Amino acid sequence: MSVGSRLNTLLEQAPVVLPSLLLCDFGNLEREIDRLEKADTKALHLDIMDGDFVPNLTYGLPIVKALRRLTDLPLDTHLMISRPERYIDAFHQAGADMITVHIEATDDPSAVLRQIRRLGICAGIALNPKTPLSAVEHLVTDCDLVLMMSVEPGFGGQTFDPTVLKKLKMARELFGDRTVLEVDGGVNEETITECTRAGAQLMVAGSAIFGRPDYKSAMEVLRTKALQA
């Protein structure tokens, strides 16, 4: 299945909850993926942090490669790293189906987005809570999705910033249906309905899933709440 088809398949099922593996048990990665697949997960969100662009260091290429061996689910790869253009090809080769970079992390985001698209995979642009929507408006024709951070990037389990809801609504009005909207940070059963109501199609959730004993029921609760928009 082509990457474009994979993205379209996700959108046909929108709103979609994407588990962020930041809080998963990496000592039992195969078991974690099995539990998520049994919970009818549609795609996995990978938070790649370099300790430079954000004040945290997570995982990198070896984990992406391992995940690609473990699952056929689309890998939504969120690069929270400085100068991401240096690693686009490597993450593609590791198995990423979607690569999102931060506008704040590169001097030429348009060039990076074109670099991603040339590989035939989904290109996304992310912006931090304090970055205005106008900063990415000129990039919409170069990307497939816009990811809105609803927390300051770096650590899981943070409190949702409700100002992202206004951004989502503005983005949907400005960009129409041609751009996929994703939200990441503090998404849980209390906040997810407002996210979908504001226009988000892909919702990244971490502690709302991995902080629960039963992933399947946690995912079902989030999906139900998302559909209430």
Q: Which of 97, 161, 184, 214 is catalytic?
A: 184
Question: What's the gap between Cα 76 and its chain centre?
Answer: 6
Cα(208)–Cα(189) distance, integer angstroms = 7
Through-space distance between the first and last CA atoms of the chain, rounded to whole angstroms: 30
137 Cβ contact partners less than 8 Å away, ≥ 6 residues apart = 174
Out of 47, 50, 144, 161, pick the active-site residue. 47
* Annotation says 47 is catalytic: yes
Active site residue 89: no
Rounded to whole angstroms, the Cα distance separating 62 from 26 reads: 12
CA dihedral of 54, 65, 119, 88, whole degrees rounded to 10: 30
Side chain identity at residue 118, one-letter code: R
User: Is the distance from CB of 60 to CB of 48 less than 8 angstroms?
Assistant: yes
β-sheet bridge partners, residue 17: 203
What strand order describes the sheet that includes 202-205? 16-19, 202-205, 180-184, 145-149, 122-127, 98-102, 75-80, 44-49
DSSP 3-state assignment of 185? coil
Kindly list the catalytic residues.
47, 184
